Amino acid sequence: MSAAVAASCAAASAAGSPRDTVALPEIAVVSPAKTNPALLPLDVSRISAEEIEKSTETSLLPVLAAKVPGLFVSERGFAGYGISGGSAGAVNIRGVGQGNKVLFMIDGQPQWAGVFGHSLADSYVANGVECVEVVKGPSSLLYGSNAMGGSVNIITRRQREEGVSGRARAMFGSFTTQKFDLSAGMRKGRFAATVAGQLDRSNGYRDGSAFWLANEFVQLQYAPSRHWETGANLDMTQTRSDNPGTLHEPLENMWTKLFRGTASVYAKDDYGVASGGVQAFVNWGRNKVDDGNAPGTPPRDYLFNSTDYNMGVTLYQTLRMWHGNEISLGVDFQHWGGHNWNTGKDDASVRSSEFREHVNEISGYAMVQQGFWRDILSVNAGVRLQHGSSYGNVWVPQAGVIVRPGFGSEFRLSFSKGFRAPNLRELYLYPPHNPDLRPEYMFNYEVAYSQRLLEGRLKLGAALFFIDGKDMIQTVMIGGRPRNMNVGRFINKGFEIEGAFRVNRLWAVAAAYSFLHTDAPVMQAPKHKLDASVSYSPGRFDFTLEDQSIWDMYTGAPGGRKESYTLLSFRAAYTLASRVPVTVFAKVDNIADRHYEVIYGCPMPGTTLTGGVELKF
């Protein structure tokens, strides 16, 4: 599963992907800013900029679902995920993810709404992304709460070459869909800057499912010396998403408007024997929702409004005291919360159901990594102590070993704990609330094996995992009234296998299969998932046929009925022989026109077509 380790996205991006090699979805591990992954027992997938661009997707979530075994994303239609009731975009990793148990980050900054604790799926766009690293299994040791089931770190693109370079792309497709994006970077000596923008719009597959999104990104970097780097990022997203409801419970006038922003400043040092940094960040949002009305009933006379924030600072340092040893230390502080209220449609000055609250969290962690016998054996152990003003103390241990016996093989064994702190809605908002809730937590036990053969042209991997979840927050009836309680438990277990083979310079094949057994029904967590692809690249042409097959997935259908389906897609691209690279491409999704649902009552579209042109300069 982790057949090779890359020091960073930068190295992978700079080197490119030679035509005579092929990458497993999980062979390259990107270094978290807080530690060196070479000795980590974690199962980490890396999706490169080349894979993201080749997919022609403007949202990152479909790319993750196709490239990461054991990961699945809920969908309700052709474009947009939305927020509030009936939203989609929930990410499950090995059946864990509902209730925001997978942490999303941008350059290490946590991204979730401060009141409801959930991620904002529509804000994770593909433009300006250098790579994405996905940890399958708890990464709470490094990142704390909400990384219970795993983490997704979106690493933004940096300009490394002198001068100016960039890319522009325009796409058009079914349901009057239009997508435009532009990114450019400039470097002059020690200063670098990157800007990116994206605009998507679609009428949607069903009446009343229109979607619109705009995203803007700016990044500045300056290296005052060879030992130091400083920088600042700003990322903003605006969306409007209409929701027609389900087929059995249709809605009228249901829409959501979202504004999301994130900003950070950082300084990093690297003196060889010691490296680290400090980062201050803020993530904020402004949302407005009309929950709509059933056909034939009067529209609601109010709108739901919310503002939220998640801000903090993180300090980390890694010491290399002797050969093969690393000691990583860090301190994190977060202040998160928000404000909800209703306003009248006729008179916005009239407010009701107002709520305002916040939580402070402070934590420290230490991790020791040691390699023996030229890293044939690597041992990792660490612990985190996190204190929340609403829930007290949580201890997070992690340990594991990596064995590299040679001949391109590697074994990883790990034990880790993950947790999720209750959000403000569960603690204080709406009738089931309970201010005495404790965090949810789970223990993950895993063994993984990977093998590289034929000078790296053939890569194989397998993983076996067991997950024990405790103190899940559920709503129960006490004295005739609903109340949130820590009463739930679950056990998930399964395995994943994958392989990739570069046959020759023209042909490449890859496949990944995951099996998941749960002791209770879990929505949008398929029991069987198969992703496979065949690529053929003669000259300036590039063709890819992809398959995704899903079996035995709960969608919320009556009687516990499960959904199974197979989707085929085909991409074709041609790069013109011109001074400036220009690529013309087309993509057909759901070639067999399969009718299926991921969320009960929300039919997915049949065959869809997208085409466009891309210019690089």
- Higher pLDDT pick, 15 / 66: 66
Confidence of residue 117 (pLDDT cuts 50, 70, 90): confident
- Higher pLDDT pick, 379 / 98: 379
3-state secondary structure of 610: strand
pLDDT for position 4: 33
Q: Answer yes or no: is pLDDT of 419 > 60.
A: yes
Rounded Cα distance, 464 and 102, in Å: 20
Centre a 10 Å sphere on the Cβ of residue 507 and count the other Cβ atoms it contains.
Answer: 14
Does residue 282 lie within any of the structural domains?
Answer: yes
**CATH number where 350 lies:** 2.40.170.20
Domain total of the chain? 1
pLDDT for position 39: 60
Q: Answer yes or no: is pLDDT of 293 > 90.
A: yes
Q: Answer yes or no: is pLDDT of 30 > 80.
A: no
- Residue with token string 């670098």: 192
Confidence of residue 171 (pLDDT cuts 50, 70, 90): very high
Contact yes or no for 447/464 (Cβ under 8 A): yes
pLDDT tens, 45-70? 889 999 999 999 999 999 999 999 99
Contact yes or no for 333/362 (Cβ under 8 A): yes
pLDDT for position 83: 87
Q: Answer yes or no: is pLDDT of 96 > 70.
A: yes
Rounded Cα distance, 473 and 440, in Å: 7
Does residue 478 lie within any of the structural domains?
Answer: yes
Contact yes or no for 60/125 (Cβ under 8 A): yes
- Residue with token string 């532009």: 182
Confidence of residue 3 (pLDDT cuts 50, 70, 90): very low
Confidence of residue 36 (pLDDT cuts 50, 70, 90): low
Does residue 314 lie within any of the structural domains?
Answer: yes
Q: Answer yes or no: is pLDDT of 575 > 60.
A: yes
What's the rounded mean pLDDT across residues 214-243? Answer: 96
pLDDT for position 448: 94
Inter-CA distances, 169 with 182, 200, 451, 524, Å = 6, 12, 38, 32
Q: Answer yes or no: is pLDDT of 400 > 90.
A: yes
Length of the chain: 617
- Higher pLDDT pick, 116 / 465: 465
DSSP 430: S
DSSP 558: G
Q: Answer yes or no: is pLDDT of 414 > 90.
A: yes
pLDDT for position 9: 62
- Higher pLDDT pick, 513 / 5: 513
Confidence of residue 303 (pLDDT cuts 50, 70, 90): very high
Confidence of residue 20 (pLDDT cuts 50, 70, 90): very low
pLDDT tens, 585-601? 999 999 999 999 999 99
DSSP 321: -
Confidence of residue 31 (pLDDT cuts 50, 70, 90): very low
Residues near 295 by beta carbon (within 8 Å), at least 6 away in sequence: 250, 252
Q: Answer yes or no: is pLDDT of 542 > 80.
A: yes
Rounded Cα distance, 100 and 108, in Å: 17
Does residue 552 lie within any of the structural domains?
Answer: yes
Rounded Cα distance, 559 and 555, in Å: 11
pLDDT for position 179: 97
Q: Answer yes or no: is pLDDT of 515 > 90.
A: yes
Does residue 4 lie within any of the structural domains?
Answer: no
Rounded Cα distance, 506 and 504, in Å: 5
Task: List, in sequence order, every residue forming a beta bridge with 339; answer none if it has no partner.
Answer: 307, 356
Residue in 277, 334, 269, 360 with CA at minimum distance from that of residue 109? 334
**In the sheet where 102-106 sits, what is the strand order?**
44-48, 129-136, 150-156, 102-106, 109-110
pLDDT tens, 422-458? 999 999 998 899 999 999 999 999 999 999 999 999 9
For the chain, the average pLDDT equals 91
What's the rounded mean pLDDT across residues 149-171? Answer: 93
Does residue 519 lie within any of the structural domains?
Answer: yes
Rounded Cα distance, 286 and 238, in Å: 10
Q: Answer yes or no: is pLDDT of 6 > 90.
A: no
Q: Answer yes or no: is pLDDT of 500 > 70.
A: yes
Does residue 140 lie within any of the structural domains?
Answer: yes
Rounded Cα distance, 311 and 313, in Å: 7
What's the rounded mean pLDDT across residues 350-373? Answer: 94
Residue 287 burial by Cβ neighbours in a 10 Å radius (0-12, 13-18, 19+): buried
pLDDT tens, 466-485? 999 999 999 999 989 999 99
Contact yes or no for 509/492 (Cβ under 8 A): no
Q: Answer yes or no: is pLDDT of 271 > 50.
A: yes
φ, ψ of residue 49 to 5 degrees: the values are: -60, -35
Q: Let me know the angle formed at the C-alpha of 517 by 484 and 598, rounded to the nearest 5 degrees.
A: 70
Instruction: Name residue 90's amino acid.
Output: A
Does residue 393 lie within any of the structural domains?
Answer: yes
pLDDT for position 151: 93
pLDDT for position 70: 95
Dihedral sign, CA of 88, 91, 96, 100?
Answer: negative
Domain of 452? 9-616
Q: What is the distance of C-alpha 451 from the center of its chain? A: 26
Rounded Cα distance, 304 and 348, in Å: 11
pLDDT for position 84: 84
Instruction: Name residue 311's amino acid.
Output: M
What's the rounded mean pLDDT across residues 333-347? Answer: 95
Q: Answer yes or no: is pLDDT of 190 > 90.
A: yes
What's the rounded mean pLDDT across residues 1-17? Answer: 42
The least confident of 35-44, 175-184, 248-257 is 35-44
Rounded Cα distance, 247 and 462, in Å: 40
